[in-house]
Structure 1
Amino acid sequence: MNPFEQDEAGRAVTDVEHQLATVHRLGVAFSGGVDSSVLLALAARALGPGRVLAILGVSPSLAADERAAAHAVARHIGVAVAELRTYEGDRPAYQANGPDRCFHCKDELFTRIGDEVVVAHGLDAIAYGENTDDVRRNDRPGAQAALAHRVLTPLVTAGLDKAAVRRIARAFALPCADKPAAPCLASRIPHFSIVSPLKLSQVERAEAALRRLGFQDLRVRHHGDIARLELPAADVARAVADPLRSQIHAAVTGAGFQFVTLDLGGIQSGAFTHAAISGAVAGE
């Protein structure tokens, strides 16, 4: 293990321990991604695993593979998971899919945590895995929901950026340490195009099929009958060569799309929201 990573992890545990000095039981909004997993691990080490609860919001926007992976990470850390059914898909503002969609999703999550989990599990506070790089982005309206619900952000307070979070994940040997970012399935649908369970299911099925073909970092963007596949540059050449080319086509059309395109721009995190915020109507 890299001694620097180990020292950095130790300092982070101490910092989080100081932040949570008055908290007896903490709930962590948990997705299984590297940020929330590192927060869960830090909290477990600062407070003890028995005083920390991982809260996993479950809805059609959470892929089954991501749900299973989140449970695996929590087991590795030794913290119990409480699954919470959320109904952001019933909210008209969420369905409308404007640039503020993530606000309505997180507002649903934190509202239900407050109504259904806090008292039932005797929690004193809720935290989520925002890091300092997230704070500087203009495409994360979910942070406003966290602020409105007084959700703690220990990684930000500790001054941890994404790179530091990944180093700490490696120091703790977390299964997700090198996992690519995996935003919710709704992020694959262009803004102002209605979010529906059918569209989410099509994206999930297509991405799961592509992972079985060996692609791990990817996005399938939903443009009606057209699926726009985003891959890292290193994967583009093999994706267009047979036999993978025909296998990709079969996998994606098998998920309900009629046409399959490959975006030569590669993976573009937050592309729809950045375009909408800058005044363009994404997807047109």
Structure 2
Amino acid sequence: MIPKRKVIPMTSINSFPEPLRQKYEKLQSILQQLGSVAVAFSSGVDSTFLVKVAHDVLGDKAVAFTAASDFVPQRDVDDAKAFCAKEGIEHHTVPFPILTVPHVEENPEDRCYFCKHALFAHMKELAAERGLAAVVDGSNLDDDGDYRPGHKALKELAIVSPLHEAGMRKADIRALSKALGLPTWDKPSFACLASRFPYGTALTPEGLARVNRAEEFLMAKGFRQLRVRAHGEVARIELVPEDIPRFLEKGLREETAAYFKHIGFAYTALDLLGYRTGSLNETLHDDVETAENP
């Protein structure tokens, strides 16, 4: 029996409307009942909030695992390490050769299922070796409406989604993250680098690294919420609409095209509809619902 750890919500959280306070307290209760957890920690908004609350509730019975693969930019792994070091959370980087998983390299429409099943099965093994009762992830209610075959894998492996069980949506998580003083409260949404390629396009380390370099170039220019989708030799840039005029200013547009050509794209295009989740799913057949890849 693990002794109960007293958790006192911050004053800023106590000032929140009752429904949000109840979700926060329910999340604490869910984690307390689990007793010990391995948190799949990507350093994104959801998993950062989850690992913080899990550590507040369970102390050293909450351990963070961060996958390191060709699908994950090194900056995210570094952010995860830095956050856990600052918070005193035990953290393990999990090297994972994702492109060796059957079917993943071919990038079928259900690629996410094969990827998540392999990765979370491995995390379950690591958690069991450390005597941790459950593996938890940052899925929330806003994920329910999307085409996400990876969720099937999570269910098959009995991965627990405490944020979802607590009835939290992305807006709740951002608000509570801000109240807790987490630096990720307004972090742009991100998805694995595989989501930059149309289904059926083979995934390679070189191609994944290329789109990552392209996105990091734009981030260095001050753009925050963006995607660079790779269509063969063409890079299709998605920016939020308010950022498009700045991108079109003389100089930046030419500099971007030159850099993208330098890293291997023959052509660079700007998507006039701007950034939107799951844009590569817009050509899927009707029996596949909406977005898998944010």
Normalised by the length of structure 1, the TM-score is 0.91
Alignment of 1:138-177 (within 5 A): 139-177=147-185
Kept in 2: contact 1:189–1:221 (CA 8 A): yes
Structure 1 residues 127 and 2: alpha-carbon distance in aligned structure 2, compared to 1, 3 A threshold: closer
Kept in 2: contact 1:8–1:168 (CA 8 A): no
| Equivalent of 1:72 in 76, 82, 94 | 82
1:36 corresponds to? 47
Q: Does 1:181 align with 2:181?
A: no
Query: Which range is displaced more, 37-46 or 260-269?
Result: 37-46
2:208 corresponds to? 200
Letter in 1 for 2:76: E
Distance 1:242 1:53 in 2: 48
Distance 1:155 1:9 in 2: 12
Distance 2:282 2:84 in 1: 32
| Equivalent of 2:132 in 120, 123, 141 | 123
Distance 1:98 1:16 in 2: 35
Kept in 2: contact 1:99–1:273 (CA 8 A): no
Q: Displacement of 1:179 after TM fit?
A: 0.6
Q: Does 1:83 align with 2:93?
A: yes
Letter in 1 for 2:49: V
Distance 1:232 1:271 in 2: 13
Structure 1 residues 140 and 41: alpha-carbon distance in aligned structure 2, compared to 1, 3 A threshold: same
Q: Displacement of 1:140 after TM fit?
A: 1.3
Q: Deviations for 1:48-91, whole angstroms, at most 9, x for unmatched residues?
A: 2x111111011011011222222233334431211111222112
Kept in 2: contact 1:231–1:267 (CA 8 A): yes
Structure 1 residues 277 and 104: alpha-carbon distance in aligned structure 2, compared to 1, 3 A threshold: farther
Q: Deviations for 1:226-271, whole angstroms, at most 9, x for unmatched residues?
A: 1001101011111111121122112322221111110011012112
Local SS of the residue matching 2:265? coil
Alignment of 1:1-284 (within 5 A): 1=12, 4-5=15-16, 11-48=22-59, 50-115=60-125, 117-137=126-146, 139-278=147-286
Q: Displacement of 1:21 after TM fit?
A: 3.5
Letter in 1 for 2:265: F
Letter in 2 for 1:75: A
Structure 1 residues 161 and 206: alpha-carbon distance in aligned structure 2, compared to 1, 3 A threshold: same
Kept in 1: contact 2:13–2:21 (CA 8 A): no
Distance 2:87 2:185 in 1: 13
Normalised by the length of structure 2, the TM-score is 0.88
Distance 2:219 2:29 in 1: 41
Kept in 2: contact 1:131–1:160 (CA 8 A): yes
Distance 1:275 1:169 in 2: 35
Could you tell me which runs of 5 or more consecutive residues in structure 1 were left unpaired when the two chains were aligned: none
Kept in 2: contact 1:55–1:81 (CA 8 A): yes
Q: Displacement of 1:224 after TM fit?
A: 1.0
2:9 corresponds to? none
